[in-house]
Amino acid sequence: MEIDKDRITLKRATISDIELIIKYRMDFLKEVQGTTTKEKESCLKNSLRKYLKKSIKNDSFVSWIANYLGKSIGFSGMVIREQPGNFEIPNGKTGYILNMYTIKKFRNNGIGSLLFQQLIEEAKQMKLDKIELHATKDGEPLYRKLGFMEPHDRVLEYIIK
């Protein structure tokens, strides 16, 4: 669906947008990871609600919502991480972008790019040293076009069960 890009507005999410953010996160996760049990879904929603109430309030989570003709059509989120600095990140502050999401019928209209650019501007204002993300196959070309590259350090992870 082609839209008039001049009618897209961006709004920084507030506490009052928590349920909307949760809905978009759940839609994103179902699209990327598939469905899960009702119990896990309920547990995740409660966890997200608790996290977002705290993190939006203290600015450790930043989210922007794209609206078109009064309807929310896209979402972005960035977790602000703080750690002891090093030579690569002397301020010790980084952003981790998660679930860039646009409702399917509004995709390929530059909404993701608008939301992403807004997060990059926010990161600059917050004086973050770098931004990281995990890219879906569909999102990777956009991120590479915007200057994202492979990390120079090999990343390992340990899942605690």
Q: What is the pLDDT of residues 78-110, one digit of tens each?
A: 999 999 999 989 999 999 998 789 999 999 899
Classify residue 155: in a domain, yes or no: no
Buried b (16+ CB within 10 A) or exposed e, 30-61: eeeeeeeeeeeeeeeeeebeeebeebbeeeeb
Is residue 140 very low, low, confident or very high in pLDDT (cuts 50, 70, 90)?
A: confident
Given a cut of 90, whether residue 146 has pLDDT beyond it is: no
Q: How far is residue 56's CA from residue 26's CA, in Å, rounded to a whole number?
A: 18
% pLDDT > 70, the chain:
100
Range of the domain at 76: 5-145
User: Beta 93-102 vs 130-133: how paired, if at all?
Assistant: parallel
For residue 71, give every residue at least 6 positions away whose Cβ sits within 8 Å of its Cβ, in sequence order, or none. none
25: CATH:
3.40.630.30
Burial category of 107 from C-beta neighbours within 10 Å (exposed 0-12, middle 13-18, buried 19 and up): middle
Q: Across all residues in the chain, what is the average pLDDT?
A: 92
Classify residue 160: in a domain, yes or no: no
State the pLDDT at residue 135. Answer: 82
CB 88 within 8 A of CB 82: no
Mean pLDDT of 66-79: 96
Q: How far is residue 4's CA from residue 8's CA, in Å, rounded to a whole number?
A: 7
Q: Is the dihedral of CA 38, 53, 15, 109 positive or negative?
A: negative
Classify residue 79: in a domain, yes or no: yes
Alpha carbon 93 to chain centroid distance?
17
Q: How far is residue 136's CA from residue 66's CA, in Å, rounded to a whole number?
A: 20
Packed helices 38-57 and 18-33: angle between N→C axes, nearest 10 degrees: 130
Classify residue 150: in a domain, yes or no: no
Is residue 156 very low, low, confident or very high in pLDDT (cuts 50, 70, 90)?
A: confident
Enter the pTM of the model.
0.87
Classify residue 152: in a domain, yes or no: no
- Number of domains forming the structure of the chain: 1
Classify residue 119: in a domain, yes or no: yes
Q: How far is residue 83's CA from residue 137's CA, in Å, rounded to a whole number?
A: 29
